């Protein structure tokens, strides 16, 4: 579906699903496109002199600002670090820009910045520049944060859609849907609220270690944020024209997250993560890669969930618990709680 001139931006255009893709391709790329941008990778790969760097940016508008497992400050740092890490880079420095709504309590701002600083320090990343704007009440929702980041490309890293081949295995580094369901439950005030915890965390340790140990056997990495695992896997099949087969029984899901998603009628595969990576690895090194993931604190529940196949169509297929099969579609962009 092409966007028409009189169309308006819907919330779903920001949801990381089909509508986001459409907006990027038909409006943004057509206005700004160039060789690097058009690759649509998590971070841009650039050569400065003899050095390969990765450069990326991300904005954070999460509501509520504080949630179980994190807050907008930690998220803003981890999110950009993760975009660099899955691009095969070691994160070096970040910028951090604030758009603040008039009336925000200073204490809230302090807490957010403290949390951002702590997350950056843990990753040995410095926040080296920034900007502050204040807008009148109502023109923003409390606080929005943008972070940009630069990372040094790891010498052994050679990841990209074009590296992916039939037979490669797909690893997810832990349970899915934790961040999204935590945020949604906060907003909707469901009974699960207190038992859910966002997975908000940097994935740089895992990404760095698997690249270091397995080099170009690591074909591709991505953090499945908005649109969840479904969006990431669909992007892989769209970019490679290969198929994907995943097994429901192998996908790690926290039972409370599953219960909350079931109650609201959400497909867990579409729910956002903020501390996970999808890793595509050669079949020979898949087991080794899994062991490395599991040796990391946030990767204990990592699992091989499926593989790339030479299908007749670029589709993601799920083998269900009862051994049925179904297509996993690209999410639309906005999960709506169902009526009953």
Partner 1 sequence: MLERINEAYTQIARAQKTLGRTVNIMEVCGTHTVTIFRAGLRSALPEGLKLLSGPGCPVCITDQGYIDAILAFADRTDIIIATYGDMIRVPGRNGSLEQKTNRGNIKIILSAEDVLKLAKQNPDKKILFVAVGFETTAPATAVLANEALQQGIKNIAIFSNHKLVVPAMASLLTTKNHRIDAFICPGHVSVIIGCDAYLPIVEQFHKPCVVAGFEPMQIIDAISEICRQLAEDEPQLGSVYQAAVKPGGNETAKKIINDTFDISDGYWRGLGEIKKSTLKLKEKFSSLDAEKQLGVKFIPEEDLTGCCCGEVLCGLMDPPDCGLFATSCTPDSPVGPCMVSSEGACAAWFKYTRKKRQK
Q: Which of 70/331 has CB closer to partner 1? A: 331
CA–CA dist 78, 210 (Å, integer): 19
- Residues from 174 through 193 that contact partner 1 (CB under 8 A): 188-190
Q: Which of 166/336 has CB closer to partner 1? A: 336
Determine the interface stretch with partner 1 among 4-12, 117-125, 168-176, 231-239 (rule: CB under 8 A): 4-12
- Closest CB 305 distance from partner 1, rounded Å: 16
Determine the size of the site formed for partner 1 (CB under 8 A): 32
- Closest CB 325 distance from partner 1, rounded Å: 5
- Closest CB 260 distance from partner 1, rounded Å: 12
CA–CA dist 241, 316 (Å, integer): 11
The answer to whether residue 8 forms part of the interface with partner 1 (CB under 8 A) is yes
> Per the structure block, which two tokens stand in for 78?
């981890």
Question: What's the angle, vertex CA 92, arms to CA 206 and CA 172, rounded to 5?
Answer: 20
Q: Which of 67/220 has CB closer to partner 1? A: 67
Q: Which of 207/261 has CB closer to partner 1? A: 261
The answer to whether residue 332 forms part of the interface with partner 1 (CB under 8 A) is yes
- CB atoms near residue 322 (< 10 Å): 7
Q: Which of 137/321 has CB closer to partner 1? A: 321
Determine the interface stretch with partner 1 among 5-13, 85-93, 106-114, 202-210 (rule: CB under 8 A): 5-13
- Closest CB 169 distance from partner 1, rounded Å: 22
Determine the interface stretch with partner 1 among 3-11, 73-81, 103-111, 293-301 (rule: CB under 8 A): 3-11
HEC per residue, the chain? CCCCCCCCCCHHHHCCCHHHHHHHHHHHHHHHCCCCHHHCCCCEEEEECCEEEEEEEEEECCCCCEECCEEHHHHHHHHHHHHHHCCCEEEEEEEEEEEEECCCCHHHHHHHHHHHHHHHHHCCCEEEEEEEEEECCCCCCCEEEEEEEEEEECCCCCCCHHHCCCCCEEEECCCCCHHHHHHHHHHHCCCCHHHCCCCCCCCHHHHHHHHHHHHHHEEEEECCCCCHHHHHHHHHHHHHCCEEEEEHHHCCCCHHHHHHHHHHCCCHHHCCCCCCCEEEECHHHHHHHHHHHHHCHHHCCCEEEEEEECCCCCCEEEECCCCCEEECCCCCCCCCCCCC
- Closest CB 223 distance from partner 1, rounded Å: 24
Q: Which of 49/138 has CB closer to partner 1? A: 138
Determine the interface stretch with partner 1 among 8-16, 47-55, 170-178, 217-225 (rule: CB under 8 A): 8-16
Q: Which of 14/130 has CB closer to partner 1? A: 14
- Residues from 125 through 144 that contact partner 1 (CB under 8 A): none
- Residues from 11 through 50 that contact partner 1 (CB under 8 A): 11-12, 18-19
In the block, residue with structure tokens 């990576």: 277
- Residues from 255 through 274 that contact partner 1 (CB under 8 A): 262, 265, 267
- Residues from 303 through 322 that contact partner 1 (CB under 8 A): 313, 315, 318-322
Question: Which residues contact partner 1 by CB under 8 A?
Answer: 1, 8, 10-12, 18-19, 188-190, 262, 265, 267, 313, 315, 318-327, 329, 332, 336-340
């Amino acid at each position: 579906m092409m966007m028409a001139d009189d169309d308006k931006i819907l919330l779903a255009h920001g949801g990381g699903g089909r509508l986001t893709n459409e907006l990027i391709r038909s409006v943004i790329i057509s206005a700004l496109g160039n060789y690097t941008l058009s690759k649509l990778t998590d971070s841009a790969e650039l050569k400065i002199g003899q050095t390969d760097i990765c450069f990326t940016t991300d904005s954070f508008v999460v509501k509520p600002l504080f949630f179980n497992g994190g807050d907008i400050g930690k998220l803003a740092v981890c999110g950009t670090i993760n975009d660099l890490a899955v691009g095969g880079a070691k994160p070096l420095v970040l910028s951090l820009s604030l758009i603040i709504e008039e009336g925000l309590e200073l204490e809230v701002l302090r807490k957010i910045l403290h949390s951002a600083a702590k997350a950056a320090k843990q990753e040995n990343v410095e926040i080296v520049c920034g900007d502050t704007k204040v807008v009148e009440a109502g023109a923003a929702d409390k606080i929005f944060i943008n972070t940009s980041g630069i990372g040094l490309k790891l010498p052994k890293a050679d990841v990209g859609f074009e590296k992916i081949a039939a037979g490669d295995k797909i690893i997810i580094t832990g349970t899915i849907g934790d961040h999204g369901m935590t945020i949604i439950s906060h907003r909707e005030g469901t009974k699960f609220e207190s038992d859910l915890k966002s997975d908000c965390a940097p994935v740089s340790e895992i990404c760095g270690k698997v690249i270091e140990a397995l080099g170009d056997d690591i074909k591709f990495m991505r953090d499945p944020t908005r649109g969840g695992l479904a969006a990431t896997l669909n992007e892989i099949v769209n970019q490679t024209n290969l198929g994907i087969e995943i097994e429901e029984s192998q996908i790690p899901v926290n039972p409370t997250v599953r219960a909350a998603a079931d109650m609201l009628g959400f497909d867990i595969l579409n729910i956002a993560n903020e501390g996970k990576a999808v890793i595509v690895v050669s079949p020979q090194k898949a087991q080794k890669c899994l062991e490395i993931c599991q040796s990391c604190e946030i990767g204990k529940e990592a699992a091989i969930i499926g593989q790339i196949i030479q299908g007749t169509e670029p589709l993601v297929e799920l083998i269900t618990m009862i051994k049925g099969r179904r297509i996993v579609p690209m999410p639309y962009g906005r999960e709506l709680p169902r009526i009953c």
